[in-house]
Amino acid sequence: MSKKIQLAILVANKERADLAIDDLWRTARSAVPPEVQLSGMAVHVAMPAGTVRSGDAFLDLELLALPDEGPLLRLVGQLAARGGAPGVLGRLIQHNLLSHRVARALAKNKKLTEDFCAADMVVSADPLADWALWSLRRKTSAPLIHGPFAMANALTEMARK
């Protein structure tokens, strides 16, 4: 009987999520031997319909709808567009608010949270997804990984055990 590994991927950056998902999935497939049955779920933030598709039957795609941005995030966005020190500060605050927004959206979606916690490994594809995954640290025993290289190493080790 072959070993089974369930992988969960979170992509929070809206730009070219399809490329990020394809890259992570290809890296995951190449990190495990052929006798290991790898299945996965990739979750991406709300994007225009039909922009992300899975070319693999073992990879399910899910959508994570983010709440509308409030007036504070719009104000910080204006500050982030400025140059110099105020712009740097604005971009840092903007990143913090956006990553917490993704974490709150994942926490509110009980089904996706349960699916992430049931996975053997959870991977964040970008820095905006890191806080959402970090919020799962006490809910799952699965390793929480950031990026393709750490994922490939962890999957190779997991497949050996």
Chain position carrying tokens 């982030």: 80
Three-state secondary structure call for residue 13 = coil
107-116 pLDDT tens trace: 999 999 999 9
**Portion of the chain with pLDDT greater than 70, in percent:** 92
pLDDT band at 144 (very low <50, low <70, confident <90, very high): very high
The phi, psi pair for 68, rounded to 5°, reads -60, 145
pTM for this structure? 0.86
Q: In this structure, which amino acid lies at residue 2?
A: S
Give the rounded distance of the alpha carbon of 26 from its chain centre: 15
* CA–CA distance, 152 with 160 (Å, rounded to integer): 12
* CA–CA distance, 153 with 104 (Å, rounded to integer): 29
* CA–CA distance, 49 with 18 (Å, rounded to integer): 12
Residue 55 has pLDDT above 80, yes or no: no
Residue 51 has pLDDT above 60, yes or no: no
pLDDT band at 1 (very low <50, low <70, confident <90, very high): very low
Which tokens sit at 103?
Answer: 């974490």
Give the CA radius of gyration of the chain: 17
- Mean pLDDT confidence for 2-13: 90
